[in-house]
Structure 1
Amino acid sequence: MNEAGGRFPRSKRASARRHGLAALAAAALVLAGGARAAGPAIALTFDDLPAHGPLPAGETRAGIAEAIARAARAAGSPPLYGFVNGVQTEREPGSAAALAAWRAAGDPLGNHGWSHLGLSKIDPATFERELTRNAPLLADQRARWFRFPFLDEGADPARRDAARAILARHGYRIAAVTMSFGDYGWNEPYARCLARGDQAAIAGLERSFLAAARSALAQSRAAAQARYGRDIPYVLLMHAGAFDARMLPRLLDQYRRAGVRFTTLAAAERDPAYASDRDPRRPFDADALQHHLPSPEIAPEDAEYAGAGLASLCQ
């Protein structure tokens, strides 16, 4: 299961949309004209290593990890974090090779909980077991980053505070997310369409994937302007799936043409906007952008290849 339902709280969505029209127009002008405008910094991060989504015939998990790393380096991205669910090494034997490939590329690994369990569904003792069981798979124990599965930090303040205390005790920082376009949703339909040889459907998936990313960039920037009065360095959530790997070169080129520059997770989250999550000893900030991610808006012509339409595509 992926970073899905409940990830986009609605309390800030109306405000983000009011500010989003101007940002969308500006982004469209940059992309249409091919001009290089000064844009924001984005840190690329990937969840659900070593195995996310279906594995198309002829591909390997290590190959997906290697393709992601190649695309990131070609685009000038510094090292990018991959967040690990160790249970996948048991569910899919051989997938641990993806972790070795990730480390070989010089990219660090973070903790995403052993079984990818949302905090709302477990007690603090289980949360700590999930954290510590996963830890041996991480290469660098000096710089520990944790990302909540499903971005679920718990609705109950006592449970949330207990989890944050556990993270602080184990020396973790929280890897917050301030940009997402639901990339995970494209991986399953891509595998189905590829198996059927439906190239027209795959072309539609490619088009809608890039359109959703453009919308998310504009809307996260508008939401940051509304919340902070400025751009912040954004942390983009993606997943280590086959379609992500296929699309990453084109996605990063699209970002670069929009003036985006790439940065590291640590550099991005040194910004004051992330202070409450970077250090779990601080009080939880319910108003921070990472807790009110805006949803990307998809044009009607892409409806079949995005959102709810993905479930029935190539069935």
Structure 2
Amino acid sequence: MPENPASRVALRHFDAMFDFDWRFRYPVQPSQHASAPDSVYHLHLSDVDYRMIGKAVPLTLFGEVDNGTVRSALPTIALTFDDIPAHGLLPSGETRVGIIRKIATALKRAGAPAFGFLNAGFGLNDPTATAATAAWRAAGLPLGNHGYSHYDLDRVGAAAFAADVARNEAPLVAAAGEADWHWFRYPFLSEGQSPAMRDAARADLKARGYRIAAVTMGFDDFKWNEPYATCTARGDRRGISALEKSFLADARTAAQNARTRAHAVAGRDIPYVLLMHVGAFDAHMLPLLLDLYRRMGFRFVTLPAAQADPFYAAANDLSLPGPTPSLAGPATLPLSGPAPGLCS
């Protein structure tokens, strides 16, 4: 194909370009297309032309190709938030409703979908708890089940655990409305001390029509909420700045670790499911965190889109053997957490 001089200008602004118009022009009459005989007036491309265009573009430009399916060249993250309607200490002047609205605003501005998980037994003494959950749904964000009381399966056993899951369903249905709420996130990510306990929990969840929301990326973001409340109360800007830096540093490290583990376990990037919480510091940091992930090359997808990947088969089909797929294993790079003693 001869070089179009205009392409040299375009490449100053873009990584690359396809100039199909240049390919089909008559050299002696550029206003007409040198198209197939069935093209109308040589002004529009024919079906033959479009097939030729399709064959001319290698799918590998857009990512890895697996049995004709293109996997995006960019790694993806599905954002999930646990412990709605309440998590952690609140700095003075903050409210549960305000925190969720901040999170929803940051997500909308970044074009990032997210999925939340409800503990209806949280915040029963907080008159804003119901309004906080309603604010999540008002933002168009879906809800799943995190257990009414956030019970640890290891501590309470399969029967009590199943009862707690069921207890959370009525308030979940009331909050979720028409949206699909049949996603379950294990409290403490614990699936039982024995295969028998795990299998009993999976069988109950399957009978109730659930899929499990896996976790394949996280950095214990909740650990920053308490020191943030303390630093805010003291007006310690230096302490807050230190929290911000360590939060972003651990987020970056955790993302790098997840990608390293995914390549070790699956031989490729998988769509990652990120665990976060609805804390005050999460809300404070979310715009910066989403920007960090974008600069690292990630794009954001929904939880169902992420878990459509075959890696998550045992999370979607609970008739398959457990446990829930994860990237658990030795971390290549250590996480630091918030510096101890800040603002104390």
TM-score by length of 2: 0.75
Gaps of 5+ in 2: 1-71
Q: Determine the C-alpha separation between the residues in 1 that align with 2:218 and 2:122.
A: 23
User: C-alpha separation between the residues in 1 aligned to 2:332 and 2:152?
Assistant: 20
1:275 aligns with 2:304: no
CA distance in 2, matches of 1:102, 1:74: 15
Q: Do the aligned partners of 1:215 and 1:296 also contact (CA within 8 Å) in 2? A: yes
Query: Does residue 92 in structure 1 map to residue 129 in structure 2?
Result: no
| CA distance in structure 2 between the aligned counterparts of 1:201 and 1:188, rounded to whole angstroms | 12
Aligned counterpart, 1:24 = none
Matched, 1:77 2:112: yes
Supply the distance in 1 between the matched residues of 2:117 and 2:323 (Cα, whole angstroms): 23
Look up the equivalent residue of 1:314 and give its one-letter code.
C
For residues 89-128 of structure 1, what are the structure 2 equivalents within 5 Å?
A: 89-128=123-162
Between the aligned partners of 1:237 and 1:95, the Cα distance in structure 2 is: 21
Aligned-partner Cα distance in 1 for 2:125–2:332: 31
Deviation at 1:133, TM superposition (A): 1.0
Residue deviations 1:150-170 (CA, integer Å, cap 9, x gap): 100112111110000000011
- The answer (yes or no) to whether the contact 1:145–1:175 under 8 Å persists in 2 is yes
Q: How far is 1:294 from its partner? A: 4.0
The Cα offsets for residues 265-285 of structure 1, whole Å up to 9 and x where unpaired, read as: 001011111111122221114
- Map 1:243-258 onto structure 2 (within 5 A): 243-258=281-296
1:313 aligns with 2:342: yes
Q: Deviations over 1:21-46 (max 9, x none)?
A: xxxxxxxxxxxxxxxx9531100000
The offset of 1:292, in angstroms, is: 3.9
Inter-CA distance 126–295: structure 2 relative to 1 (3 Å threshold):
farther
SS in 2 for 1:81: strand
Distance in 1, matches of 2:164 and 2:101, equals 27
What do residues 203-223 of structure 1 show as CA deviations (whole Å, max 9, x unaligned)? 000000000000011000000
**Cα distance change on mapping 1:193 and 1:70 into 2, 3 Å:** same
Report what 1:20 is aligned to. none
1:237 alignment partner, one of 275, 291, 302? 275
Percent sequence identity is: 55
SS in 1 for 2:123: helix
Contact 1:51 1:88 in 2 (8 A): yes
What is the RMSD of the two structures over their aligned residues, measured on CA atoms? Answer: 1.8
**Cα contact 1:45–1:238 (8 A) shared by 2:** yes
Please say if residues 212 and 296 of structure 1, whose CA atoms lie closer than 8 Å, have aligned partners that are also in contact. Answer: no
Match of 2:193 among 146, 155, 159: 155
Match of 1:186? 224
Q: Residue deviations 1:54-107, cap 9 Å, x none?
A: 0111111011111111111111113x1111111113143321211100000000
1:259 aligns with 2:294: no
CA-to-partner distance for each residue in 1:243-272, whole Å, 9 max, x for gaps?
000000000011111111000000101111
Residue 14 of structure 2 corresponds to which residue in structure 1? none
Is the alpha carbon distance of 1:202 and 1:38 closer, same or farther for their aligned partners in structure 2, counting shifts above 3 Å? farther
1:172 aligned partner, one-letter code:
Y
Structure-2 residue corresponding to 1:50: 85
Q: Which of residues 326, 332, 344 in structure 2 aligns to 1:289?
A: 326
8 Å CA contact 1:234–1:268 kept in 2: the answer is yes
Which string of whole-angstrom CA distances, capped at 9 and with x for unpartnered residues, describes residues 178-223 of structure 1? 0001101000000001001111010000000000000011000000
In 1, distance between residues paired with 2:330 and 2:305?
20
Q: Note closer, same or farther for the CA distance 1:141–1:250 as it changes in structure 2 (3 Å cut).
A: closer
Per-residue deviation, 1:116: 0.8
Consecutive unaligned residues of structure 1, counting only runs of 5 or more, are 1-36
Letter in 2 for 1:231: D
Greater RCO structure (CA 8 Å; 6+ sep):
1
Matched to 1:51, the amino acid is: A
1:155 alignment partner, SS class: coil
Distance 2:286 2:328 in 1: 26
Matched residue, 2:99:
64
Aligned residue pairs, count: 269
